[in-house]
Chains A and B, each alone.
Chain A
């Protein structure tokens, strides 16, 4: 019964137990990717490295037997740095985008691929929920946005980007044209109120988001009607007023109050607003000359804020949109309003207003020609559609479905529960630290619904071990050596044949999205040749 010490805690474990076993009994968090209960240690990811008796060579805890008197460091800077390096190396050879580039490029970070799937599936109500989760004015933006999302579309170098902006507009128009447009449910009132100065894109977006989170908003605006530049600076041919009013109306229906023809310094002062409300968001556009009156610190561009919290030097006063400096993109103002609203929400709840740590995103950069060609095979081969009724009319349903079918769905189907991504975030790993050659992006889809993405394989070896242990007749193996090691099935058979009945166990064990089912549940039993075999 060896006794060992881990991070100054002593524990006695059964003979044969590993350091990882001991650490887990102590409740210590040693990360693993290639460790799987019931299978021998793979020793491939080396994330569980620990320092043993002061030796400069770190050892994997998952396979290191606990020996009497061992002194282990499991969370020192040195150990954490090694784990971070292991993650950075694995991610440097990881072919995939955690988040689709369109979503990454969108200042409002809308989940474009999900919206596309919903359009293809004709789930238009679901689609408007997806859109409005991030963008409160989609019908408006769908008419005026220069669509930075489309600039990042993976399909752009292939033929032309998917018409993301028009499709978003289609979803929003479809919604507005219904008798009961979508009005999201709000959380229970928090009892807090927020003054939003300015009812342009930033202010409206902030109000929408704050209302959803249970905070009562009052918008103060110096114009007669809300909308700011959207109403007064844009050609009504491009953005008809009924569209703008339709979307503002939904914000009103959420409970937001509008005080119009209100001028800062004339009808009230910042200090009055601060007294009356629990927080103030300044979103009234450029503030030349007014800054002095507001008694806020400024930069050459506008009001100065903490970039992570949108707070001015007064903790209850936030600023977003044009107030921080002139922006040319409505979507950027809108996104800032929304982000500031989320900071205000955390502030009002007494939390740190700053957004929690950023989830790490792997992004592939430019695709090689054959990678793009392989991706394109999975989507509609058609050219980009133009609305038959002209741009002003937008897509009809059939067109929308067809165009959405062009989406390559390049976001990762495992991004939500990917273990390597979570650990990379936890350890602050930078996926771009070691740029260099990487695996090819490819997807192999076979009957049985198993999607195999070799580019996302980290070579952990679990599927090889599982398939071997379950006695699959064909099985799979690592092929080659060194950097080029990859998985293959004997005789060039498909991955589903190699995995056989072990498919479910392998998909569940896979620490990344290299092995996934195409849909959450396999739709049809796995088949080997013509002979159906029992489903996994």
Chain B
């Protein structure tokens, strides 16, 4: 880093630009971390000298967030995602494989040559691509232990970047032309959507407009696991969806639909005939008004999305897969900002609140507090200054709803926030977006600019009738900052520790003024409700749970992705109807719903409707919308251990119950999973879990025991088996052995991949595994073409 300036000078320059007030602390530290990949001590000292920030706060805050390093890092940062979906797909084994292959010693995070620094991140929100590793700016998905080191080395060597510039121009077409819609959200960009986009543009340029095809960037197209996704609307208006496209396929794919030469027409006819043969006549019988495409052709992966989409209702994700995230005109053309204009024109904030109340909308961030009531309380506050915060700090491992909403529908989220601000009488809005979501941050920031240029928001918004200042704040890696009082502390430049409520932020929040904190999805629902009326929203759902809910469906399921279903849809419908059931022919065992605050519901509870009350009765929570499917290879005690590891890592460390209680629970669970449990452990675990629930100060601590309590409720027998030294799912490495069965033909593949030479190279003879050497890395089982490796 020879080009890096002196850290002190760098800080001076930053401070000159950003100011010296305490609220600049996290932004300053983020900038220093970006520049140096760690926080040099001189920089920290300088911040204390040249700002109004106390050195003790610099110390406290700079050690609170995951992203800040205090030691220099290697050339490349490797971040292994340990989100729920990645965890159940073997992130621990990836971690171990990377350490082994890259020579990173146990006691350190960097290899001796200082090329790679291995970090652990709790969730990067790319769950559909699990397991995931980030190499600098590049994210690699669908990894396995065998290929991971090679993939990482290649990525580091090629210095590729999936960083996508939204500045690229659209390609217009004359009337009657076709359209190509390319999904450019994070999941698809990871799959290579950027390259596909460029390939399409290059091809069209080479054809010099001969094809008359418009290209549009769109947001998520719900093919998260199979990106990049592209939809082609042919001149007849029929929509064809493709997933898993390679840039090299682009030319033939476009020619398939748009080549007007004689050869091309013949080819199109052949393609249609073939499609009909493969998928039946429905493949061609669709119209462009229908948001669901007629069929999905996945050159590289399985088809089957038609059915999946029909059960969904798009409200927060309206115009799903069709809307350019940053095309304000397109958004306006389909009713965007109508709700905002209408609300301002009517100048009846109380009426808006009444409308939201009647819609039955409840907070989608997990708590489920009635949104209308919250707004009404905020409106009642007499303070002159009020603030609205959009909570984009989605940190639940296994969840990526808010990321996708912000990436795909930034304008809608902004509109929702504007309406909320108007309703409660606020003129300031802040988007607090977690550090791990750079694309969401850029898109929201850009969308704010676009809206300001169009006079929709800003000081003179709508002719000065609805002044509204919006800004974006970046987190720095702390799950607890999703809790509203912790988030407020973080924005104010303090350690992100929650405060006792009351006072609620609604009474005294950011800068001690009334502050309304709403989740991304909640705000994304608002414009639709205003436009269609509360009754239309309330028409969906059951009981006290109205409208729809967006879920990030991931884990051991065939089709993971971002889905939106009416409240009251059963878990079974989601897992099987939309998700296509468990992958790899395994048995559906449970769903983990609500992340670390939620619970695991067994397959026998699959009839449970997804609504706030039914889930709470079952011991889970709605949560923010992470839904991870588990199969018979997943160990419930181990999963509980995983979540407690997460919560005890993410505990702010303030109150006794959470700081020490979650650690003690984690220790008991670890003992059990290692076969070292004591007979009283299960009862002790349960009683401690109940105490931590009752005693913790904030929601994180109070809900942290939920994964334990639900697994104890539904899978107590599994805990008891662990006490007896058995892991029935074959997952806990201390309790299992790998053996070769008699299906082995001696192909030596396993011996070739075994990283610790526990399998001798014995061609044409059944292999044997040396149990002493075996590290349970699972590489042999993954590679075996004959299912000849048993785990017992």
In the complex, per-residue mask of B483-506: 1 if CB is within 8 Å of any chain A CB, else 0: 000000000000100011010000
B531 → chain A, closest Cβ, in Å? 38
Please give, as numbers and ranges, the residues of chain A lying within 8 Å of B657 by CB-CB distance: 46, 85-86, 89
Please measure, in the bound complex, the distance between the C-alpha atom of A60 and the C-alpha atom of B502, giving whole angstroms: 11
Task: Decide: A482 and B651 in contact? CB cutoff 8 A.
Answer: yes
Shortest distance from the beta carbon of B616 to any chain A beta carbon, whole Å: 13
Q: Does B702 lie within 8 Å of A477, measured CB to CB?
A: no
- Also in contact, A64 and B650, with CB within 8 A (given A44-B655, A490-B48): no
Which single residue of chain A is at the shortest CB-CB distance from B660? A89
A483 close to B663 (CB less than 8 A): yes
> Contacting A41 at CB < 8 Å: which of B500, B651, B695?
B500
Which residue on B lies nearest to A82, using beta carbons?
A: B695
The answer to whether residues A46 and B695 also contact, given A41-B500, A467-B56 and a CB cut-off of 8 A, is: yes
In the complex the two chains form, is B695's CB within 8 Å of A483's CB? no
Contact with B along A349-362 (1 / 0, CB 8 A): 00000000000000
Residues of chain B with a CB closer than 8 A to A92's CB = 660, 664
Q: A46-B697, A467-B56, A475-B56 are in contact. Are A89 and B648 (CB under 8 A)?
A: no
Interface string of B26-62 (1 = CB under 8 A from A): 0000000000000001000100100000111111100
Give the complex CA separation of A437 and B500 in angstroms.
28
Q: Which of A81-104 contact B (CB under 8 A)?
A: 81-82, 85-86, 89-90, 92-93
Query: Quick check: is B661 within 8 A (CB to CB) of the other chain?
Result: yes
Cβ contacts under 8 Å, A328 to chain B: none
B691 adjacent to chain A (CB < 8 Å):
yes
Residue of A nearest to B60 (CB): A477
Q: Are B694's CB and A82's CB within 8 A?
A: yes
- A473-488 to B contact mask, C-beta < 8 Å, 1/0: 0111111111111001
Instruction: Please classify how large the interface on chain B is, using the bins under 10, 10 to 19, 20 to 34, 35 or more.
Output: 35 or more
Question: A49 interface residue, CB < 8 Å from B?
Answer: yes
Interface centre among A41, A60, A436 (most CB of B within 10 A): A436
B653 adjacent to chain A (CB < 8 Å): yes
Q: Answer whether residue A468 sits at the interface, using C-beta atoms and an 8 A cutoff.
A: yes
- In whole Å, how far is B621's beta carbon from the nearest beta carbon of chain A? 14
Q: How far is the CB of B512 from chain A (nearest CB, A)?
A: 13
| Chief secondary structure at chain B's binding surface | helix
The answer to whether A45 and B659 have CB atoms under 8 Å apart is no
Q: Smallest Cβ distance from B651 to chain A, in angstroms?
A: 4
A475 touches B54 (CB 8 A): yes
A488 to chain B: which residues have CB within 8 Å?
59
- Judge whether A275 is part of the interface by a CB distance below 8 angstroms: no
| B661 A89 Cβ-Cβ under 8 A | yes
Is A506 on the interface with B (CB-CB < 8 A)?
Answer: no
Query: From residue A483, how far is it (CB to closest CB) to chain B in Å?
Result: 4
Distance between Cα atoms of A485 and B649 in the complex (Å) = 11
Residue of A nearest to B63 (CB): A479
Q: A491 at interface (Cβ–Cβ under 8 A)?
A: yes
The answer to the question of A264 belonging to the interface, with a C-beta cut-off of 8 Å to chain B, is no
The reply to whether the CB of A58 lies closer than 8 angstroms to some CB of chain B is yes
Task: Decide yes or no: A90 and B649 within 8 Å by CB, A476-B56, A478-B495, A490-B56 being known contacts.
Answer: no
Q: Which listed residue, A49, A56, A90, A485, touches B653 by the CB 8 Å rule?
A: A485
For B478, what are the chain A residues with a Cβ–Cβ distance below 8 Å? 481
CB neighbours (8 Å) of A464 from chain B are: 56
Q: Which residue of A lies closest to B653 (CB)?
A: A485
Assuming the A-B contacts A41-B500, A89-B660, A437-B663, are A490 and B58 also in contact, with contact meaning beta carbons closer than 8 angstroms in the complex?
A: yes
The complex places the Cα of A477 from the Cα of B493 at a distance, in Å, of 14
A311 within 8 A of B: no
Q: Is the CB of A437 within 8 A of B667?
A: yes
Residues of B within 8 A of A82 (CB): 691, 694-695
Q: Which residue of B lies closest to A93 (CB)?
A: B660
Q: Mark B649-681, 1 if CB is under 8 A from A, else 0.
A: 111111111011111100100000000000000
- Asked, given contacts A480-B63, A480-B64, A490-B59, whether A85 binds B654 with beta carbons under 8 Å apart, the answer is no
CA distance A85 to B688 in the complex (A): 8
A43 close to B (CB within 8 Å): yes
Q: Which residues of B contact A56 (CB under 8 A)?
A: 693-694
CB distance from A322 to the nearest CB of B (A): 38
1/0 per residue A58-93: CB within 8 Å of B?
Answer: 111001110000000000001001100110011011
A483 to B657, CA, bound (A): 11
The reply on A459 being an interface residue by CB < 8 A is yes
Please indicate the chain A residues that have their CB under 8 angstroms from the CB of B58 in the complex. 490
**Chain A interface residue count, Cβ-Cβ cutoff 8 angstroms:** 49
Docked pose: A66 CA to B608 CA in angstroms: 40
Binary contact readout B689-709 vs A (1 if CB under 8 angstroms, 0 otherwise): 001011111000010000000
Interface digits, B637-656 against A, CB 8 Å rule (1 contact, 0 not)? 00000000000111111111
Asked if B667 contacts A477 (CB within 8 A), the reply is no
A437 to B665, CA, bound (A): 12
> A41 CA to B502 CA in the complex, in Å?
13
Cα–Cα distance between A474 and B667 once the two chains are bound (Å): 37
A86 and B656 form a contact (CB under 8 A): yes
**A49-B695, A491-B45 given as contacts; is B500 within 8 A of A483 (CB)?**
no
Q: Which residues of B contact A498 (CB under 8 A)?
A: 56
- Residues on B with C-beta less than 8 A from A436 are 663-664, 667
Complex Cα distance, B64 from A46, in Å, reads 22
Q: Determine the distance from Cα of A387 to Cα of B767 in the docked complex, in whole angstroms.
A: 69
- A65 to chain B minimum Cβ distance, whole angstroms, is 6
Complex Cα gap A480–B496 (Å): 11
CB distance from A500 to the nearest CB of B (A): 11
- The residues of B that contact A468 with a CB separation of less than 8 Å are 54, 56
- Is B652 touching A482 in the complex (CB atoms < 8 A)? yes
* Nearest CB on B from A293, distance (A): 47
A476 to B664, CA, bound (A): 28
Digitize A27-65: 1 where CB-to-B-CB distance is under 8 Å, 0 elsewhere: 000000000000001011110010000001111100111
B residues within 8 A CB of A64? 500, 502
Question: Is A434 on the interface with B (CB-CB < 8 A)?
Answer: yes
Distance in Å: Cβ of A451 to nearest Cβ of chain B: 21
Contact present for B649 and A482 (CB under 8 Å)? yes
Distance (whole angstroms) from the CB of A431 to the closest CB of chain B: 12
Q: Contact between A477 and B56 (Cβ–Cβ < 8 Å)?
A: yes
**Min distance, Cβ A409 to any Cβ of chain B, angstroms:** 27
**Within residues 438 to 495 of chain A, which ones have a CB less than 8 A from any CB in chain B?**
458-459, 461, 464, 467-468, 474-485, 488-491
Q: Smallest Cβ distance from B703 to chain A, in angstroms?
A: 11
Q: Which residues of A contact B697 (CB under 8 A)?
A: 43, 46, 60
Interfacial chain B residues near A57, Cβ < 8 Å? 693-694, 702
Are the CB atoms of B660 and A474 closer together than 8 Å?
A: no
Q: Would you give the shortest CB distance from B71 to chain A, in whole angstroms?
A: 14
Report Cα–Cα, A64/B753, bound state, in Å.
60
Q: Hey, which chain A residues are within 8 Å of B56, CB to CB? A: 464, 467-468, 474-477, 489-490, 498
Rounded to whole Å, the gap between the CB of B679 and the closest CB of chain A is: 15
Asked if B656 and A483 make an inter-chain contact with CB atoms under 8 angstroms apart, the answer reads no
Residue in B55, B653, B688, B696 whose beta carbon sits within 8 Å of that of A483 in the complex:
B653
Question: What is the distance, in angstroms, from B748's C-beta to the closest C-beta of chain A?
Answer: 44
Q: Which residues of B contact A93 (CB under 8 A)?
A: 660
Question: Which residues of chain A have C-beta atoms less than 8 A from B661's C-beta?
Answer: 85, 89
Q: Which residues of A contact B663 (CB under 8 A)?
A: 436-437, 482-483
Task: Give bound CA distance, A82 to B659, whole Å.
Answer: 15
Within 8 A of B (CB), among A219-275: none
* In contact, A483 and B660 (Cβ under 8 angstroms): yes
A478 to B60, CA, bound (A): 6
Complex Cα gap A489–B55 (Å): 9
Q: In whole Å, how far is A482's beta carbon from the nearest beta carbon of chain B?
A: 4
Nearest-CB residue, chain A, relative to B479: A481
Known contacts A46-B656, A65-B502; is-contact A85 B45 (Cβ 8 Å): no
Q: Which 9 A-B pairs have the closest CB atoms?
A: A485-B653, A477-B60, A475-B56, A490-B55, A89-B660, A477-B56, A436-B667, A85-B691, A482-B651
A-B contact pairs, 26 of them (CB 8 A): A43-B499, A56-B694, A64-B500, A85-B657, A86-B656, A89-B664, A92-B664, A434-B688, A475-B56, A477-B60, A479-B59, A480-B653, A481-B64, A481-B649, A481-B650, A481-B652, A481-B653, A482-B653, A482-B662, A483-B648, A483-B651, A483-B653, A490-B59, A491-B41, A491-B45, A498-B56
